[in-house]
Amino acid sequence: MGIVWILVVEDEPAMADLLCQGLEEANHTVTVARDGAEGLHAAEASQFDAIVLDVMLPQMDGVELTRRLRAAGRQTPILMLTARDAAADIVKGLDAGADDYLTKPFSWKVLLARLRAISRRAPRPAVSTLQVSDLSIDPASSQVRRGGALVNLTATEFRILEFLMRRAGRVVSRSSMMEAIWGFEEEIESNTVDAFIKLLRDKIDRGRERKLIQTVRGFGYVIREEE
């Protein structure tokens, strides 16, 4: 299993869109943050598999973001993006705890290869299987089973299910799911969450006596065993 969920911290809209598009084409789920403060907040709030981090950012630069994230004990692999001839930035970034860097403009093949490399080097957190009733998911392998049978989910469906499973028994709002899964992009509408929940239900609950994904009207969803 390679990298799945990537946080892109980039303030230039064109570059953010380019990164987002390219990474999604490589089958990653992408969350975008538009400045350093937003990036740090996102990186602390969620368990990303890797961070693609621009160095020159408003609010807080990429070096400071890296320093604070590492100081908080988060080991998420970080690939820094720097302007050409920014040797001082590169040294500061690596010293602060970034795993690797790439200068702009970059080649996609190289960017994807660097991401694979830093994810291999990263210490794998010990993640155990999450279970609700006869539904289990393994965050390390992205395997999902209901009643022992394998269930195939897309990357986004898996993220949503994992988000719910990690909060099993607790009601989660649509807005918190949107922020965690899609980040701070404003184009996402709340009925996008509902559409994905419908897809998940078709795969997990359909035809089952016990429905696990439950709607909390006007608020959000909860995954739990009892009605």
Contact 217, 67 (CB under 8 A): no
Per the structure block, which two tokens stand in for 149? Answer: 């049978």
Binding segment for Ca ion (CB under 5 A), chosen from 11-19, 29-37, 43-51, 131-139, is: 11-19
Give the residue with the Cβ less far from Ca ion, 81 or 197.
Answer: 81
**3 phi, psi to nearest 5 deg:** -75, 140
Say how many C-beta atoms besides its own lie within 10 A of residue 53's C-beta. Answer: 28
Element (H, E) at 160: helix 155-165
Give Cβ neighbours of residue 29 (< 8 Å, ≥ 6 apart): 4, 5, 6, 155, 156, 159, 181
Contacts of Ca ion in 42-101 (CB under 5 A): 54, 56
Short-list 62, 1, 46, CA closest to 28: 1
Give the residue with the Cβ less far from Ca ion, 15 or 26.
Answer: 15
Check residue 11 for interaction with Ca ion (CB under 5 A): yes
Number of residues forming the site for Ca ion (CB under 5 A): 3
CB of residue 56 to Ca ion, shortest distance in Å: 4
Give the residue with the Cβ less far from Ca ion, 11 or 185.
Answer: 11
Residue nearest to Ca ion (CB): 56
Contact 65, 57 (CB under 8 A): yes
Beta strands 143-146 and 135-138 are: antiparallel
CB of residue 58 to Ca ion, shortest distance in Å: 8
Binding segment for Ca ion (CB under 5 A), chosen from 8-16, 25-33, 40-48, 96-104, is: 8-16
CB of residue 93 to Ca ion, shortest distance in Å: 13
Give the residue with the Cβ less far from Ca ion, 49 or 54.
Answer: 54
Give the residue with the Cβ less far from Ca ion, 38 or 54.
Answer: 54
Residues at the site binding Ca ion, with contacts judged by CB under 5 A: 11, 54, 56
